[in-house]
């Protein structure tokens, strides 16, 4: 064994040891979760619930950083370029990771290559909620009849072009042969606020943001877009059952990611922390009370789920002729 080879081995070990030590000591600083949407929306709510749980278990501060704008491009791009050291994470949505890659010809990130999947946190049923003070309907069949009798009159709010709150109603329009005007907002929070205020007629919204307004009676839940009725709302039908479309199904979802290249030990540790958090009765209750369904699971499970969702919504974009703005 030559002296130069021994020197090389010594250098390699010396370089590797600090890295291994750094991984072993993680986390030694605060963790930032980038949310590519405004505060108050479902992605933000999910990040704050999970962030608090992780902060308690890891005994380190977890800060939620809202970086909204441009269909989520701003926040997602910042997360993709962040150091891959486990101190910057991203809570992403179906829109940013499954829909945007199939809707936009050019986006400033690669959803499948720029990130290390951590865990699918929750799925969230989508509800058709309406302000019946400005929209005179109480059921989905009444809505379809009203839309056909009054083309171009009804508008729907969304959290932004290309998200689930945009694509699901576009799919609804396609399947029912109706028309509604799309009013995009910069996030679910301001969108649902204008529906409540009567500035917009209705929204295909996640239960995370619409539940408080439904429970207070300020909005009417006409139906859910899941394949089966929800246990929390047994009297609310599904769109599929009332329209005779058994294949009409859609749910939103939110998942945690790290920048690509983040050490596998840290990614797996984070995934385990999310799983543990979701199994805590207090955390699970906070999410289920808001209409979310805790999921969890491995990084590999999230990666496979993400690609399947991209294929599903890519077909919806094609058949409904949805165009990016």
Chunked mean pLDDT (size 10), the chain, 325 residues: 51 50 78 93 92 96 93 94 97 93 92 98 94 98 98 92 87 93 90 97 91 94 93 93 91 95 98 97 90 92 96 87 77
The CATH number of the domain covering residues in 125-243: 3.40.190.10
Backbone φ and ψ for 203, nearest 5 degrees, come out as -155, 145
Please give the sequence-ordered ranges of beta strands (E in DSSP) within 51-201, or none if there are none. 62-66, 88-93, 115-130, 155-158, 181-184
CATH 3.40.190.150 fits 29-123+251-319, yes or no: yes
Residue 94 CB burial class (10 angstroms; 0-12, 13-18, ≥19): buried
Query: What pLDDT score was predicted for residue 154?
Result: 98
Query: What pLDDT score was predicted for residue 5?
Result: 47
pLDDT tens-digit map of 39-87: 988 899 999 999 999 999 999 999 999 998 888 899 999 999 999 999 9
pLDDT tens-digit map of 102-127: 998 889 999 999 999 999 999 988 99
Instruction: Report the DSSP beta bridge partners of residue 256.
Output: 91, 119
Query: What pLDDT score was predicted for residue 183?
Result: 96
Whole-number Å distance between alpha carbons of 173 and 239:
12
Return the H-helix or E-strand segment holding 206.
strand 202-206
Query: What pLDDT score was predicted for residue 322?
Result: 83
Residue extents of the structural domains in the chain: 29-123+251-319, 125-243
């Amino acid at each position: 064994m030559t002296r130069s080879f021994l020197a090389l081995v010594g250098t390699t070990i010396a370089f590797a040891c600090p890295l291994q030590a750094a991984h072993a000591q993680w986390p030694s600083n605060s963790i930032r979760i980038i949310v590519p949407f405004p505060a108050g929306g479902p992605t933000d709510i999910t990040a704050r619930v999970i962030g608090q749980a992780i902060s308690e278990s890891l005994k380190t501060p977890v800060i939620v950083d809202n970086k909204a704008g441009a269909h989520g491009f701003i926040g997602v791009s910042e997360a993709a370029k962040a150091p891959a050291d486990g101190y910057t994470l991203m809570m992403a949505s179906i829109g940013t990771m499954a829909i945007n890659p199939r809707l936009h010809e050019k986006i400033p990130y690669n959803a499948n290559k720029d990130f290390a999947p951590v865990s699918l946190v929750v799925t969230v049923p989508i509800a058709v909620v309406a302000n019946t003070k400005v929209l005179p309907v109480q059921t989905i069949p009444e809505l379809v009849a009203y839309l056909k009798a009054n083309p171009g009159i009804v508008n729907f709010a969304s959290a932004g072009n290309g998200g689930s709150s945009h694509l699901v109603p576009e799919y609804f329009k396609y399947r029912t042969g109706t028309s509604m005007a799309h009013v995009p907002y910069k996030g679910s929070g301001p969108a649902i606020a204008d529906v409540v205020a009567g500035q917009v007629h209705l929204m295909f919204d996640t239960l995370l943001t619409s539940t408080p307004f439904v429970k207070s009676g300020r909005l009417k839940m006409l139906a859910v877009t899941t394949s089966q009725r929800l246990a929390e709302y047994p009297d609310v039908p599904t769109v599929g059952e009332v329209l005779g479309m058994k294949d009409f199904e859609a749910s939103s979802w939110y998942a945690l990611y790290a920048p690509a290249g983040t050490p596998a030990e840290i990614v797996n540790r984070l995934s385990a922390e999310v799983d543990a958090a979701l199994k805590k009765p207090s955390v699970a209750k906070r999410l289920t009370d808001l209409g979310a369904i805790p999921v969890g699971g491995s990084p590999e499970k999230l990666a496979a789920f993400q690609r399947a969702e991209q294929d599903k919504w890519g077909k919806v974009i094609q058949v409904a002729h949805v165009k990016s703005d």
